[in-house]
């Protein structure tokens, strides 16, 4: 890309290796369409494309450039599920409802895979996602694997610590859940290709065209832009945290937060020795870190969250330290690119999806889990608009809730720091717990000498000495106790 486009797209690695996309004109004349989509990210483009494929007229209004923010800056993981833990979703809506929500999230993954396969030859998916644990908590893994695999029907594999460590050369990793049908991509390449095939379906995309006002009343909604007005029977709000003054009552239900991504300079063969798994890897679903190999010998590393400042360079030291702690064999890495993107998080960490008022639709709040869910949301809203399909109502329990303003930002930041600290402590304790369990198992398996039975005297009148207290009796065993444990006492 040229320097001007790089500045818009955040100086990301995706932008640095991409050609400058075609710059689309602003809306300069009044227009009348069936559907107006506000926001040219993944959710908006998917909804626009699916509606246009049925012959309806669609216009997309984008305030800047297509996929200029989170849609084109994320780490590219296309995985099932949501930002919210599936166990909490089950607690909130019940198992049957959660099963339907999970199936929709998988539909989003498959939609993207099919679209890439059939219409995006320039996008190359790499299969697999490994959700790794840094704590020795296998007791929690078994019920989660059971819930996902048996109750929800997810195609997953539970991996042992040995199998994980064979592919990810970090002795502090334990078990993992493997998702073989997940994959990772260049999200900017996908988004730009999605815009192209949407236009081929008949969508008109107007860049540098912010929506300034909207009148959602009546059958035909009216949208005001700097140079022209648009009328539409349906309006899809897909601007996420950037709706701002257009719909403040909606934008205030999201907490904007910045997350960060970096790509190293080429690391050579040592990267392949340290990371032998070609898919995507997550260490923690919410708190840090996520990584994958790109361009064969570069490491993409993502994580961090701040609700107050957006300075990618401030995370250079944090990322270097994290990589060195995870894969010290890589040495002191240097970054080629480091950038940020702003995501929108609702308090319940679930997508905001549905009909706000007659003909006014919302798709936002993907909370950092926005590739499969944006595809899912776009398809669901298109079906609702075209056919009256009401599958979007499955998200009704996760309604619009005020995010708390500045207080909400403070709470989210504090929750992130607390979770990160907790994860860090548990990760440091993990190897010690593993060693303690190993020693305990070895001690239990050690052979013990038999204890001779006591011989009773035949003289009834003999006077026996007082029986000693059991804790003072000697132990008859050939096995020495391991360090830190006491030998078993004779009873």
Cis peptide before 376 (omega within 30 of 0): no
Domain boundaries defined on the chain: 24-424
Q: Phi and psi at residue 258, in whole multiples of 5°?
A: -95, 135
Distances (CA, A) of 300 to 315, 356, 469: 14, 38, 64
Q: Residue 147 has which token pair?
A: 């819930």
SS3 215: strand
**DSSP state letters, 342-387:** EEEE-TT-S-EEEEEETTEEEEE--TT-TTHHHHHHHHHHHHHHHH
Q: Which residues contact 116 (CB under 8 A, 6 or more apart)?
A: 123, 125, 185, 190
* Partner residues linked to 335 by β-bridges: 264
Measured CA to CA, the distance from residue 454 to residue 49 in angstroms comes to: 87
**pLDDT value for 434:** 57
Measured CA to CA, the distance from residue 38 to residue 238 in angstroms comes to: 6
Q: Nearest-CA neighbor of 152 among 81, 67, 201, 254?
A: 81
- Write out the chain's pLDDT in tens, 491 residues: 998 999 899 889 999 999 999 999 999 999 999 999 999 999 999 999 999 999 999 999 999 999 999 999 999 999 999 999 999 999 999 999 999 999 999 999 999 999 999 999 999 999 999 999 988 877 888 899 999 999 999 999 999 999 999 999 999 999 999 999 999 999 999 999 999 999 999 999 999 999 999 999 989 999 999 999 999 999 999 988 888 789 888 888 998 888 999 999 999 999 999 999 999 999 976 557 999 999 999 999 999 888 877 778 888 999 999 999 999 999 999 999 999 999 888 889 999 999 999 999 999 999 889 899 999 999 999 999 999 999 999 999 998 888 777 777 777 767 766 776 666 666 666 565 655 666 766 777 766 656 555 554 444 444 444 444 433 333 333 333 333 333 333 33
Q: Which residues contact 214 (CB under 8 A, 6 or more apart)?
A: 38, 221, 222, 223, 224, 235, 246, 247
Q: Residue 488 has which token pair?
A: 């078993």
Lookup result for tokens 């040219």:
40
**pLDDT value for 422:** 66
- If you count DSSP H runs as helices and E runs as strands, how many of each does the chain have, helices first? 14, 17
- Tell me, rounded to whole angstroms, the distance of Cα 464 from its chain centroid: 73
Calculate the CA dihedral of residues 40, 45, 51, 52 and round it to 10 degrees: 90
Measured CA to CA, the distance from residue 152 to residue 85 in angstroms comes to: 13
* Partner residues linked to 298 by β-bridges: 294
Pairing verdict, β 229-237 and 31-38: parallel
Pairing verdict, β 280-282 and 126-132: parallel
Q: Phi and psi at residue 81, in whole multiples of 5°?
A: 95, -165
Q: What angle do CA 459, 461, 465 make, to 5 degrees?
A: 95
CB-count burial class (<10 Å; 0-12, 13-18, 19+) for 53 = middle
Distances (CA, A) of 41 to 183, 188, 259: 20, 10, 17
Measured CA to CA, the distance from residue 23 to residue 36 in angstroms comes to: 20
Measured CA to CA, the distance from residue 132 to residue 158 in angstroms comes to: 10
- 372-387 and 95-119 helices cross at what angle (nearest 10)? 100
Class of domain 24-424: alpha beta
46 membership: H or E segment, kind and range: helix 42-52
Q: What angle do CA 121, 127, 129 make, to 5 degrees?
A: 140
**pLDDT value for 401:** 84
SS3 341: strand
What value does the CA radius of gyration of the chain take, rounded to a whole number of Å?
28
Q: Residue 486 has which token pair?
A: 């006491």
**pLDDT value for 416:** 63
Contact (CB, 8 A) for 30 and 228: yes
Contact (CB, 8 A) for 176 and 133: yes
């Amino acid at each position: 890309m040229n320097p001007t486009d790089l500045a818009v797209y955040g100086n990301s690695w995706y932008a640095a290796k991409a050609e400058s996309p075609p710059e689309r004109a602003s809306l300069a004349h009044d227009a009348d369409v069936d559907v107006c989509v506000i926001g040219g990210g993944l959710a908006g483009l998917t909804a626009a494309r699916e509606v246009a494929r049925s012959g309806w007229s669609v216009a997309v209004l984008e305030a800047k450039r297509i996929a200029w923010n989170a849609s084109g800056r994320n780490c590219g993981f296309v995985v099932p599920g949501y930002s919210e833990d599936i166990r909490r979703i089950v607690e909130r809506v019940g198992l049957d409802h959660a099963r339907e929500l999970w199936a929709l999230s998988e539909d989003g993954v498959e939609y993207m895979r099919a679209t890439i396969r059939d219409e995006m030859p320039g996008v190359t998916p790499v299969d697999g996602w490994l959700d790794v644990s840094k704590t020795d908590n296998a007791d929690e893994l078994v019920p989660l694997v059971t819930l996902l695999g048996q109750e929800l029907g997810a195609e997953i594999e539970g991996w042992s610590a040995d199998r994980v460590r064979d592919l990810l050369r970090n002795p502090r990793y334990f078990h993992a859940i493997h998702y073989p049908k997940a994959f990772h991509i260049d999200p900017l390449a996908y988004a730009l290709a999605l815009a192209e095939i949407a236009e081929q379906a008949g969508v008109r995309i107007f860049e540098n065209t912010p929506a300034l006002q909207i009148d959602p009343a009546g059958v035909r909604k009216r949208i005001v832009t700097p140079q022209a007005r648009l009328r539409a029977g349906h309006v899809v709000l897909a601007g996420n945290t950037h709706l701002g003054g257009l719909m403040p009552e909606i934008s205030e239900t999201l907490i904007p937060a910045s997350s960060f991504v970096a790509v190293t300079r080429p690391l050579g063969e040592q990267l392949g020795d340290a990371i032998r798994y070609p898919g995507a890897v997550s260490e923690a679903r919410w708190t840090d870190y996520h990584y994958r190999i790109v361009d064969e010998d570069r490491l993409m590393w993502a994580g961090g969250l701040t609700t107050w400042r957006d300075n990618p360079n401030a995370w250079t030291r944090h990322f270097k330290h994290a990589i060195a702690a995870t894969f010290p064999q890589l040495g002191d890495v240097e970054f080629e690119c480091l950038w940020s993107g702003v995501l929108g998080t609702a308090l319940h960490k679930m997508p905001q999806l549905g009909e706000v008022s007659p003909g006014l639709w919302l798709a936002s709040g993907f909370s950092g889990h926005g590739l499969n869910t944006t595809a899912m949301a776009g398809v669901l809203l298109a079906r609702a608009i075209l056919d009256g399909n009401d599958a979007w109502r499955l998200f009704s329990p996760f309604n619009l809730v005020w995010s708390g303003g500045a207080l909400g930002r403070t709470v989210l930041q504090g929750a992130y720091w607390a979770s990160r600290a907790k994860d860090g402590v548990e990760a440091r304790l993990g190897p010690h717990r593993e060693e303690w369990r190993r020693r305990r198992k070895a001690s239990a398996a050690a052979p013990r000498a038999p204890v001779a039975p006591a011989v009773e005297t035949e003289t009834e009148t003999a006077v026996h000495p007082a029986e000693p207290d059991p804790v003072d009796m000697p132990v008859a065993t050939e096995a020495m106790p391991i360090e830190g444990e006491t030998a078993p006492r004779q009873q």
